[in-house]
Chains A and B, each alone.
Chain A
Amino acid sequence: NAGVMQNPRHLVRRRGQEARLRCSPMKGHSHVYWYRQLPEEGLKFMVYLQKENIIDESGMPKERFSAEFPKEGPSILRIQQVVRGDSAAYFCASSPTGTTYNSPLHFGNGTRLTVT
């Protein structure tokens, strides 16, 4: 059973370009979470999605960032017009249910975005 798959592992973008990060959850998991780890900072929640629905986007910057989890295919985190401050590691996690009382979140290896 493959774990949470994220691609690409490393992504380099110039300022003003778009970045698209992909996450395929574990098999049987329909809940996806995106977290961001800025240099020298802890992991911060960005957004929680179920298939075709955004449940909680309270951690997403209001502009330039969007996320989706379509009925078919991976979840996508999209950053438009990237700036240097977007350089970070972006992690995706999945769970089989929305409440993780007794079910740990499973994390992918992350996508490291560098904006030049």
Chain B
Amino acid sequence: KQEVTQIPAALSVPEGENLVLNCSFTDSAIYNLQWFRQDPGKGLTSLLLIQSSQREQTSGRLNASLDKSSGRSTLYIAASQPGDSATYLCAVIPSGNTGKLIFGQGTTLQVKP
């Protein structure tokens, strides 16, 4: 059974700091992995999608890496800003699945001005 874990559960950093969020999954047979952002009381915004054949994806100050063999992904945020404060969710689609995402519990990030 696929399980997704995110560490740390919460993180507080000063503005401008570079930071890394971690995601691990127990079964390496995945279709793809997605990182989402969730603001309080809001829906999910897709940040990056990494296909199983890819090693990383970049969008602006965000870079996500994927190591399938070790069951790990990281989300790197460069030069953090207060507007980055949100909960970041990692989710995988197991191979052969119908598109059903399995989510981690999320990392709640606070960037202090």
Whether a CB of chain A sits under 8 angstroms from the CB of B89 is yes
> How far is it, in angstroms, between the C-alpha of A56 and the C-alpha of B42 when the chains are bound?
26
Known contacts A101-B51, A102-B32, A104-B49; is-contact A45 B43 (Cβ 8 Å) = no
Is the beta-carbon distance between A45 and B105 smaller than 8 angstroms? no
Residues of A within 8 A of B102 (CB): 45
Q: Known interface pairs A43-B89, A91-B44, A110-B43. Does A31 touch B99 (Cβ–Cβ under 8 Å)?
A: yes
Q: How large is the interface on A (under 10, 10 to 19, 20 to 34, 35 or more residues)?
A: 20 to 34
Are A43 and B103 touching (Cβ within 8 A)? yes
Residues in B whose Cβ lies below 8 Å from that of A103:
49
B58 at the interface (CB under 8 A from A): no
Residue with the greatest number of chain A CB neighbours at <10 A, chosen from B34, B46, B51: B46
A105, CB-defined interface residue at 8 Å? yes
Q: Which residues of A contact B105 (CB under 8 A)?
A: 41-42
Decide: B43 and A101 in contact? CB cutoff 8 A. Answer: no
Residues on B with beta carbons closer than 8 Å to the beta carbon of A35: 101, 103
Q: Which parts of A31-89 form the interface with B (CB within 8 Å)?
A: 31, 33, 35, 41-45, 48, 55-56, 58-59
Q: Is A25 an interface residue (CB 8 A)?
A: no
Rank and list the top 5 A-B pairs by shortest CB-CB distance, nearest first.
Answer: A109-B43, A107-B44, A104-B46, A43-B103, A107-B43
15 residue pairs from A and B, CB less than 8 Å apart: A31-B99, A33-B99, A35-B103, A42-B89, A45-B100, A56-B100, A59-B100, A98-B98, A99-B31, A100-B31, A100-B93, A104-B46, A105-B99, A107-B44, A107-B45
Q: Give 7 new A-B contacts, CB below 8 A, not counting A56-B98, A93-B44, A106-B46.
A: A33-B99, A42-B104, A45-B100, A48-B99, A95-B99, A100-B93, A102-B32
Residues of A within 8 A of B (CB): 4, 6, 31, 33, 35, 41-45, 48, 55-56, 58-59, 91, 93, 95, 98-110, 112
